[in-house]
Amino acid sequence: MAPRPLPNELWIDIIHHLPQSDILNISSTSKSLHNLAVPFLYSEFDATTNNKGATRATELFLRSLLERPELGTHVKKATFCAKGDEEVDDFMTVRSQSFDAKTWSCLREKMSHASRDKEFGVSWESRFNAKHNDDAFLALILHMVSKNLESLTFVKDGKCSRPYKFMHTVLMEAARLQYSGEERYPLSQLREVRFLTESPSTYGGVSSLRVDDVRPYLKLKSVKRLTCHDVSEPGSGNVSDEQDKFTATTVELHHCRMTRPSLKSFLSKFQDLKALHWKTGTEANHFAHCFDDIRDIPQLKATLEELVVDDSCSLRSIGLPNFTDMSGFGFMKSLEAGSYSLLGSLVMVVRPGNFSIYPQHRLNAFIAALPTSLQILKITQCQRAILSHVPTILGLKDKSLHNLKQLTLAFPRSSWTPRADGDSVQLAKRVGVELMVLTKN
């Protein structure tokens, strides 16, 4: 007797746990399996990994959507690449001349729903037929996958400075519908938006990503997480309208180029920001300089629960850091930052067997500046001397860090293996703190 076929529900569960490449192989074995695999095959589009190049991959993706519009409902994650070399003739240009009359009719019908402005369709079609039409065709794709899209990523390679006004129009229409009370408006499932820079070398040049480019995405109340690389000042001179209120709860800023007043104004628009991740790019962009301004933002003091600061470049700085008093952040549960930002530089003690320490008064000031609500403290870029101060930090748990549950010391890769001594380990157990000593690979 032939074995009974597996039910569709079981096959769907199996496919769900397979890598994308294996799903493609399985889907080709039978028509029924292919139909089951389609939602998984089209759940993610990444133009940066296609061997045909980002532009060609995006064009093929658009053609698939035009042939089978229902595929757009399966897309949950999309990654596009915006290249900035305008010297290249075919830079981000879809060959629209090959579209027939039926396809153009479909395109016009799709974009007629993207905006209430009747002139939008005319200007969009004109741009779509022009050179460098990436804004127009990305706006079309964004509109076609807007029903269930959850994550949207733009990877920048080089300087890409042209405004994306058609994409912004699609976003503004979605924002309008959400505030009009529509239950399932376009992009209602979009949770995460990322603007990434592919090559760190581009950080040295003029940033092409401005706050103006980010705002339309943040106006969608569905967006909860924002990541920006290399974001700079707004073109208009104002970070945002006074009425702007953003609902994202997690913000990551890498190599931020905004001035201190602009950064403060930008972050003050977030009504319920719970996590802020910051990565510096230059010594002049030290986080402490910015934190002196944003610590006065009432929303942050009332909502911020997690702060992660990656400022490894500060190890090259001279002098003491201006470590900010964070005791007023009554809801902060997790803090991660470099040893220099938190404790400053080591002081050499001239005694037999010269060694370096952190002065006791600086340790006391550091502990006093921490919020009493803190549960997790992670100090990165540690130097060996900090191990001798672990008992001092743990000894203050009952006084000012009574909520502390985890202390992590992360060391850069070196020729020796850092370990906490037995007394520190026993003390950590006694006061109820998990002590972790890590080495970065």
Cα distances (Å, whole numbers) of residue 346 to 320, 359, 363: 10, 8, 11
- Which has the closest alpha carbon to 95: 67, 137, 64? 137
Classify residue 129: in a domain, yes or no: no
Cα distances (Å, whole numbers) of residue 68 to 145, 149, 213, 229: 12, 17, 31, 35
Classify residue 112: in a domain, yes or no: no
Q: Assign residue 85 the CATH number of its domain.
A: 3.80.10
Q: What is the pLDDT of residue 88?
A: 45
Residue with tokens 């050499």: 348
Classify residue 227: in a domain, yes or no: yes
Classify residue 110: in a domain, yes or no: no
Classify residue 117: in a domain, yes or no: no
Q: What is the pLDDT of residue 87?
A: 44
The parent domain of residue 67 ranges over: 45-90+145-439
| Mean pLDDT split into 10-residue runs, the chain, 441 residues | 53 61 62 68 85 82 88 93 54 64 82 82 84 84 94 76 77 87 83 83 56 91 94 66 86 87 88 91 55 77 91 54 76 90 69 66 85 93 87 84 93 78 90 90 49
E strand or H helix that includes residue 209 = strand 209-210
Contact 303, 267 (CB under 8 A): no
Q: What is the pLDDT of residue 218?
A: 95
Burial class (CB in 10 A: 0-12, 13-18, 19+), 29: exposed
Contact 274, 304 (CB under 8 A): yes
Residues 6+ apart with CB under 8 A from 287: 278, 280, 309, 311, 337, 341
Classify residue 140: in a domain, yes or no: no
DSSP string, 324-387: ---TT-TT--EEEEEHHHHH---EEE-SSS-EEE--HHHHHHHHHTS-TT--EEEEES--GGGG
Report the alpha-carbon distance of residue 311 to residue 253 in Å, rounded.
12
E strand or H helix that includes residue 83 = strand 77-83
- Which has the closest alpha carbon to 168: 226, 214, 127, 216? 216
Contact 251, 267 (CB under 8 A): yes
Q: What is the pLDDT of residue 171?
A: 92
Q: What is the pLDDT of residue 201?
A: 42
Tally of domains in the chain: 1
Q: What is the pLDDT of residue 203?
A: 44
Classify residue 25: in a domain, yes or no: no
Report the alpha-carbon distance of residue 381 to residue 337 in Å, rounded.
8
Report the alpha-carbon distance of residue 247 to residue 300 in Å, rounded.
13
Classify residue 364: in a domain, yes or no: yes
What are the tokens at 262? 């602009």
Contact 146, 186 (CB under 8 A): yes
Report the alpha-carbon distance of residue 378 to residue 42 in Å, rounded.
39
Cα distances (Å, whole numbers) of residue 42 to 34, 69, 145: 12, 12, 11
Residue 321 CB neighbour total at 10 angstroms: 20
